[in-house]
Structure 1
């Protein structure tokens, strides 16, 4: 009897202690969240937060040496050279500042980084956390306006940072809220899948954001909600978040877009999984006007119908892709090349970053591709530009995510697996 009573008391004490610890942890988390919110409010009012600046990311050592060995295996066209530009943990989307050329790097985690080449020797001198007082959630999307305002698009919030290239030197930065937390998409549609947003500022000064939908193929009961909110499409709004509208629909999950000199919007789209190794193809698309439909979910990619919608009538105005990309290679970031360093062949063409397949029996991808574009907007056959991160045995030594150009016209390539940014230059 006594031993049973002692056991019961012990169990009760343990349970009480567990509840107490859980309550304490919850209170601590709530306090931390409130502090982060307060910090954002302080930054909006140009007040200091008191948050210490984290130490810079080391740029030398064993990790850098290993990446440099990998880069020796990368194949490029004649005259091109690749080198390590910066060590950046979890590097994803990139935005190059229009004033000083500072590179801002988004991630799928909780940090945004800045990369500075102070010596202008085309190698980063400093990599550090941007705005450490802010509690970011999947801040993948970064883009600049021509007047130097940095936009950061998270999973479900949009923030703007005026004069980011100048404020980034310290831990406190000027900030504003473009779209409040929980209002970019309905909270009910938040998911662990297809959460990496990308953005661009258009020639019209509006902010364009791609909103990947969370399913492989969405259920039909989601159609009205997604069409209305722009999930599975591209939305646009004024720089301050007003006048939001759906710009394009029929897009499964675009993680790369860019405007061409003719003001049309080009974008990649990752297509349906589970339909076999060799179908459907990925897509490179061109939006020439608002309101266009690019065919998903009726098409899984290219002209391949999805099983779930094979008996449904396809809308009559569906726009086909300008180029079909390798199936399941996961083309993510892209740019229309406007630099002058590369030979004439590449000017006005599209570079895409292939992240590499995950559900293919024979892996493909992990390379940078080039798609030539003629003056009339016709896309040529995609061709490898930089490859070698995928070994013959199927091991990924790196996974390219995004591409961007430095002011000198050289090409930057981010890699979230290696945690690095590479620079590709042309040497005559």
Structure 2
């Protein structure tokens, strides 16, 4: 064992020395000044062969309501959150690694023809969260910065793209708060034209000594700012780790998923879909582990010192509700209009795995919400994951895309019924 540990340490030390001797250049300054970087090569992902065929085979077991069809749209390694270009040309896909992928259906047969890395001259750090403004500006929220690409659907054909800082590296959160845990940022442009970004806190339960700092900078919450990075403010408090949010198409109000506390048992606490109606509302963490279940760490507090908004929907414990999207298309039956389609990534430490499916949440005129499975079957009879859905996006034809970071794929769900 000591020999293994020593060899591992030497390996990492050697990697550190190699990185120190040959740092990867960050070409943002050149791109911001419309200068060439000298980068000429893309990484292309093969869309055919045995790997793609294996994914298609697994999709045969997915169950959905009558009339719906699921197909492989693209092979996309580590596929996480998606942003469909307003021109309908490209879908940009983030990852929890160092790549952003550009996915193109050139012949419009609703299957991607090309998947290549976006802006390969840039050095990304967990570029999980892409989102678009209506006028075609692409924003990508990384672990600790936010960049904007003003003409992404045009420049993506070239290795060099126009790119600018919205939030500079090290200024989204304090650098000393950077963590390997809960670092997947998500962004959306709200009805007010502002940029909303979730900032998951890195602990299972936030410790007391961190609460003041987190409240100030928005960690364990959601921030909003103008699209040029000015006017930053904390919009939402009391979130453990939200990795999906969207705005109701009619009311304009914010809804978001939240992943709740681990280690309390298989069946508690529940996951959450939340509904925010005003700035500054608090959603319970760390006093609540999920729903009305109190955390052990804060159970001694007789009274919770904040006014808490309880979830609009409690979901099955540990299913890991992630990306979500309000459906606005016309392809699906009418009762899906303005419903939430959301992805459950699946449990990582539950005795019997749950999740790994797409859910639909219907909201009535009074704002009451009910959730049910929409597409499921990515956990087989042995309890093995065949896929882990992450996010949901909508194409211009009204079909939806579902990303899967385990299979490294994007699926397309369409409706062919009456």
Report the TM-score, using the length of structure 2 for normalisation.
0.95
- Aligned residues of 2:88 and 2:395 also touching (Cα < 8 A): no
Which digits, 9 at most, give the CA deviation of each residue in 1:360-385, with x for residues without a partner?
001011000111111232102x1110
Q: CA deviation at 1:345?
A: 1.6
In the other structure, the counterpart of 2:42 is 54
Which digits, 9 at most, give the CA deviation of each residue in 1:69-125, with x for residues without a partner?
000010010000000000000000000001134100000000000100111110001
CA distance in 2, matches of 1:338, 1:306: 37
CA distance in 1, matches of 2:75, 2:51: 8
In the other structure, the counterpart of 2:7 is none
In the other structure, the counterpart of 1:111 is 99
Q: Which consecutive residues of structure 2, in runs of 5 or more, have no partner in the other structure?
A: 1-10
- Aligned residues of 2:286 and 2:298 also touching (Cα < 8 A): yes
In the other structure, the counterpart of 1:207 is 195
1:28 equivalent to 2:21? Answer yes
1:375 equivalent to 2:365? Answer yes
CA distance in 2, matches of 1:276, 1:231: 26
Partner of 1:99, secondary structure, is coil
CA distance in 2, matches of 1:268, 1:134: 30
Partner of 1:165, secondary structure, is helix
Paired residue for 1:303, among 273, 292, 299? 292
RMSD: 1.4
Which digits, 9 at most, give the CA deviation of each residue in 1:150-181, with x for residues without a partner?
00000001100001011101101010001111
- Aligned residues of 2:181 and 2:203 also touching (Cα < 8 A): yes
In the other structure, the counterpart of 2:151 is 163
In the other structure, the counterpart of 2:392 is 403
- Aligned residues of 2:399 and 2:414 also touching (Cα < 8 A): yes
Partner of 2:213, secondary structure, is helix
In the other structure, the counterpart of 2:219 is 231
Paired residue for 1:324, among 299, 314, 327? 314
Residues 68-147 of structure 1 aligned to structure 2 (within 5 Å): 68-147=56-135
CA distance in 2, matches of 1:276, 1:263: 36
In the other structure, the counterpart of 1:43 is 31
1:343 equivalent to 2:336? Answer no
Paired residue for 1:264, among 239, 242, 253? 253
Partner of 1:308, secondary structure, is helix
Which digits, 9 at most, give the CA deviation of each residue in 1:383-411, with x for residues without a partner?
11000110121100000000000001101
Distance 1:197 1:22, change over 3 A: closer
- Aligned residues of 1:101 and 1:406 also touching (Cα < 8 A): no
1:194 equivalent to 2:187? Answer no
Partner of 2:28, secondary structure, is helix
1:278 equivalent to 2:271? Answer no
Q: CA deviation at 1:28?
A: 2.3
CA distance in 2, matches of 1:413, 1:26: 36
Partner of 1:255, secondary structure, is coil
In the other structure, the counterpart of 1:13 is none
1:218 equivalent to 2:199? Answer no
Distance 1:121 1:22, change over 3 A: closer
CA distance in 2, matches of 1:21, 1:358: 32
Q: Which consecutive residues of structure 1, in runs of 5 or more, have no partner in the other structure?
A: 1-17
CA distance in 2, matches of 1:24, 1:193: 25
Q: CA deviation at 1:24?
A: 5.9
Number of residues of Structure 1 aligned to a counterpart in Structure 2:
404
Partner of 2:96, secondary structure, is coil
Distance 1:221 1:61, change over 3 A: same
The structure whose Rg is larger is 1
Paired residue for 1:413, among 392, 395, 402? 402
Paired residue for 2:140, among 152, 162, 186? 152
- Aligned residues of 2:282 and 2:306 also touching (Cα < 8 A): no
Q: CA deviation at 1:22?
A: 7.9
Residues 355-366 of structure 1 aligned to structure 2 (within 5 Å): 355-366=345-356
270-279 or 308-317, larger mean C-alpha shift: 308-317
Q: CA deviation at 1:26?
A: 4.6
In the other structure, the counterpart of 1:334 is 324
Distance 1:21 1:89, change over 3 A: closer
